Structure 1
Amino acid sequence: MLLDELMKRLDEKKDRIIEIRRYLHQYPELSFEEEETAKYISDFYTDVQVDSIETNFGGQRGIVVTIKGSKPGKTIAIRADFDALPIKEETGLPFASKNEGAMHACGHDGHTAYMLVLAETLAEFKDRLTGIIKVIHQPAEEKPPGGALAMIEAGVLKGVDAILGIHVMSTMKTGTIHYRSGNTQTGRSYFKLVIQGKGGHGSSPHLANDAIVAASSFVMNMQTIVSRRINPFDTASITIGNFDGKGTFNVIKDSVTLEGDVRTMSPETREIVANGLRNFSDGLETSFRVKTKFEYTNDYPVLYNDPDVTEQVRQALFHASIPEVKAIEETPPQPPSEDFAYYLEKVPGCFFYVGAMPESGEVYPHHHPKFNINEKSLIISAKAMAAVVVSFCGGDN
C-alpha cells in the first residue's frame, strides 16, 4: 500500500530529519528577518522533483512548493513555519544557537525539518497520488501581524480544499498525538494605555496628580472584567506585560504607559474585554482627572478546526497505526495563539499536535530559554502528516 511505502521511506530518512533540525537550530532568524533560512529551504528543493517552487511568496520570504498527483483530485495545503524568537538560548546543547539573542524556542526548526523531508518523499510518490499538494513554508509566525496574512493575500489558498498543520509540543508526552474540533486556540489582542497626570514632589501630593495611582487603579479594576463580565464557562485572560512607571523615589510620576495582552476563545468574549478596558480607561479621566490615550488591536483570531476535516484527520491517524504513536487523544483548548488561525478563517482545515516531551530532565515550556524537544517527535510528525495527506490524496492505496 502507498502509505506503508511512504512510512518505510520516511524511516530511512529519519536521521536526516534530525540533522536538518539541528542545523536550523544553530542558525535561528527572527520573524521577518529569515533570509538565510528561506535560502536553505529553497536550496533544499533544487534536486527534488516538485512541480513548482515559488520563493518570496507574499513578499516576506515565504516559499510555496507544488506537488501534482497523476490524476485530478483535491487540493490540500500543508504548512510549516520557520521563524525563531528573540531569546538567548540556555540549553547547553551541542547544536545550540550561534546567532546571539535568537533561538528556536518554539519548535519551528523541527516543523521545517520534518516538512522538507516529507515533501521530498511525497514528490517521489507523486505518480501514485491524486490532486495537488501545496507545501507552505511560512515565515514570521511569532510576530504580529504574522506571515500567514501576506501569503493569504498573495493567493496561497487559491483553489485549496483543506489546509493542515502540526505543532510539536514539549508539554505533551512523546508518542502521543492530540486533536480538537471547533475552537481550539485562543485569539490574541494587544492594548496600550498612556495616562497623563501631573508630576510633582512627593511631599506635596495635593499639588500633583499621580499617574501611577491612576494606572494602579486600572490594573486592579480590569481583573473584574474576567471575574464579573465573562461567562465562567468562557475563556479569557488579561495580562499587563509592561508598566512603565520608573522614576525617582520622591517624585510623583507625570505619565505612565501600560501595555497588555488579551486571550479569548470567541469573538464575542474578545469584544466584551475590549469594551471593558475602554470603559475603565475612560473612567480614569473622571475619577482621577487625568488624560488617557487607549489603543486596542486584535491580531491572531481564534483558531477554529473544521469538524469534518478534524474527523478525517483523526480517522487517518487511527488507521495508519504508526508504530511510534501510543495514543491519539482529544486535547482540551490550548491557551497560546497561532497565526495558522488566519488560514482556517478562509478554508476548512485542522491544526493538530504531536507530543515532544524530552525523555529526561525538567520539561520547559515553549518560549523558554531552556526549551527543547524530543527529536523522536520529528519522525512521528512526518508520518502523521503523511497519513493525513494520503487520506486526502491517496489515489493508489
Structure 2
Amino acid sequence: MRVLVAGAGVGGLTTAIALRAKGFDVEVLEAAPGPRTEGGGLGLAANATKVLAALGLDVVGSGVGRVCTSFRLRTQDGRLMRDLPIRAISAELGSPVVNVRRGDLLALLRDSLGDTPVRYGAAVADHRVDRSGVSVALADGGVRTADVLVGADGIRSAVRARLVGEHPVREHGYVCWIATTAFAHPRLPEGGAAHYWGRGQRFGLIDIGGGHAYWWGTKNVPLPQARRWTGGKLGVQAAFARWAAEVREVIAATPEADILAVPAQDRPFLATWGAGPVTLVGDAAHPMLTSLSQGAGSTVEDAHALAHHLAAGGDPAHALRRYEADRRDRTRGLVAASLRLSRVEQLANPLATRLRDLVIRHAPARVVRDQNAAPMRYDLPG
C-alpha cells in the first residue's frame, strides 16, 4: 500500500515512521522549502515517549533533550506554590517526560526515516479520490498518487480544508512568545521546569540540556495584537519587567530574532476527520491549546494508532474510519481539558487569581498527582 503524508512536522514524520515500520510505501510532502530548524521547544509527556519507544525511538538514549526531574509552579515573583510529583508520575507510568528543542526532535525523526522520501517545496493544493485511490495536486503543478492520503499539515491544513471546508480558527485573546537560548541559572536545575503564574500572564522556563533553556510567555492582549505582535523583544521585556530575576534574565539573554510570537488558537472539535482513503492526524484533526502539553503527545499517539489500524488489513477506507473512531474520544477530551485549563491559567481578575493560587497551594497531594498524570495515561493499541 502506498501512503502520502502531507506535512513534515512532528505528526507527519512520526506517521511516516510508524507506517514504514508496518511495511507501507510512504512519501512525505512538505510545503516549506527545506527542513524546519526554527521554533522553540516542547514537552514530550510520558505517553509520547512511550509511543516513540514502541516505534524504536529512544529519545533519552539519543541525547535529544533532557528528562524532566522537577516541575514547580511559582508566583510571578518566583515564590514556590507547588512542587509537582513529576518523578513519581513518570515512575508510575513507566516512561519519562522529556523536554526538547523542536528542531532537534525533528532532526531525530528525519534521521529515523532512513530512505523514506521527504519532498520539500511540495505544497498540497488539492486532492481527488477515485476508484484507484487518491491523487494529490501540488502547488507547483506536480501530481502524486497513492492508496491513502494523511493530512498532517497543521492547524491550517490544506487537506482538512478540502475535506470539510475553510473555517476560521478559534482565538483566545492572548499572545504566546516562545524561544530557546543558551542559559544557566541557580533557579533552573538540570532537568528542571518551572511555570510562573500571574494575572493574565504566565511564563515557563525549562531546561532542555546542553546548557540551553526553552522558555515561553503569555499575555492577554486584544486579538489584533495576538495575531500580529509588533512590540518586539522590548515589549516582551516590558510585559515581564517585575517578574522573577530568572524570567527577566532569560528574556534578556535571548536574541530578538529568536523570539517567535504566535496567537493562542485552536479549533472546535471536528467530529469527522476523513472520507474514503483520506484522514487527518495531529493539529490537522484536533488542534489544542498548549496548557496540557499534549499537542505532541496526542499527535504521536495518532501516528501509531493509524499505522496499527491500516496494518490490520481490509479496505483502507474502513481502516481509516476505525482509526478515527479509536482516537475520537481521547482527543476530544484533551482539546476540552486544554481549553478549560487555559482559561484558569489566563485569569486576570485579582480575586479569581488569588483563589486559583490558594487551590494550587492547598489541594490534596493525591488530587494533584492524579490530575497531572491523567492526560499521560495511554495504552498502546493491539
**Which structure carries more relative contact order (alpha carbon 8 Å, separation 6+)?**
1
TM range (shorter): under 0.3
Structure number with greater Rg is: 1
